[in-house]
Amino acid sequence: MKPRELFGLAIRVFGLVSLLYFFTSQTVTTTLIFGLPFSFGSVWIVAKFIAWIFFTLSLLRGAPWLVRFAYPEESKTPNSEVYVPSDRHASPVARAHE
């Protein structure tokens, strides 16, 4: 398994843990059971609830934006090594000037 794939798996596992923690957290459980009286605090709780759900769902999907940040696209060169073109790859114009 490549490091990039392993990192993606770790993100998904963290997303699952985050989702489980979310459903067991005291604030969410209390809110879902007793309802919300309207106040600034309740709006804040709902905003955190929505943000947490979107972030957790992104992690469960593998968070491609986070994987791309951690592992930028690999170069298109053979074997991801520094590619030095040989004479056979040079254009006829470049060979004529040598």
Taking only the tens place, the pLDDT of each residue in 23-56 is: 787 676 676 666 666 666 667 777 888 888 899 9
Report the run of H or E that residue 15 belongs to, with start and end. Answer: helix 3-24
How many domains are contained in the chain?
1
Q: Which domain holds residue 52?
A: 3-71
Does residue 15 have a pLDDT over 90? yes
Q: Give domain status of residue 93, yes or no.
A: no
93, two tokens: 């114009």
Q: Give domain status of residue 55, yes or no.
A: yes
Q: What is the model's pLDDT at position 92?
A: 56
Question: For the chain, how many residues are written?
Answer: 98
Q: What is the model's pLDDT at position 33?
A: 63
Does residue 96 have a pLDDT over 70? no
Q: Give domain status of residue 58, yes or no.
A: yes
Question: pTM for the complete prediction?
Answer: 0.60
Q: What is the model's pLDDT at position 75?
A: 46
Angle at 57 between CA 51 and CA 61, to 5 degrees: 145
